[in-house]
Amino acid sequence: MIKRARAIALTFAFALASPWNTAWAEDNNAHYYAGVQAGWHDLDRWSGDVHFGAGVSVPGHVTLDQNGQGGLIVGRERGPVRYEVEYQRGAFDLQSIHLGPQSQAAGGGGHYEALTLNAYRAAPIRGAVSAYLGAGIGYGRVEMPGARFNAGCNCFAPASGKGLTWQLRVGLEYGADSPHKAFVQYTLLSLPGADSGGVPSVDYGRERIGIVGLGYRYAFK
């Protein structure tokens, strides 16, 4: 599965890199850009199975407090098409743990990271306003906080995971003919699962989250 994910990511990377040839780089209508974005994600619950060994497992989940996220982008744009590399990081706080009929308040913080290659196509709407639609694929990492029940079961030990990440994105941007561009966007981001190892162990599945962000990018030759 990991080899397949890497193959998919490499294939997409080569597809994104194809326009970066000499002719395109020397095109006077093309330019580079760099920018930042920040916003909020809706990650408030993450399901996972707790394994006690000997084939015994119990479904559970943790509740999380929504928190902030941010990112950096650098890319190349030509007309309505642009390609970029993006780094994102989001944070969240643990609120409670749930296992079968048991639940308990808990604390701790975790985060996710994603490094993706993105491709977009834009379309003018009116004046300096345009809309864009795109997708990205790359590598993601998750760090989940640990918590134990008062009865002593360390059922939700600290967990981590990494693997394939993909996203879909739609947005609005202002500043069509200006080097200064502001945007608002919605992203659907798929994150890899995480596991703690040991006995008992917790195994979190993949999770999809929604992200609302505001951003700015600056275009230059």
pLDDT tens digits, 164-178:
999 999 999 999 889
Preceding amide of 200 cis, omega within 30: yes
Of 2.40.160.20, 1.10.530.10, 1.25.40.10, 1.10.1510.10, the CATH number of 2-220 is: 2.40.160.20
Region for 198 from its dihedrals, namely left if φ exceeds 0, alpha if ψ lies in -120 to 50, beta otherwise: left
Q: Are 184 and 172 contacting, i.e. CB atoms less than 8 angstroms apart?
A: yes
What does the domain layout of the chain look like in residue ranges? 2-220
pLDDT tens track for 27-72: 667 999 999 999 999 999 999 999 998 889 999 999 999 889 999 9
- Whole-model pTM: value is 0.85
Report the greatest alpha carbon distance in the chain: 68
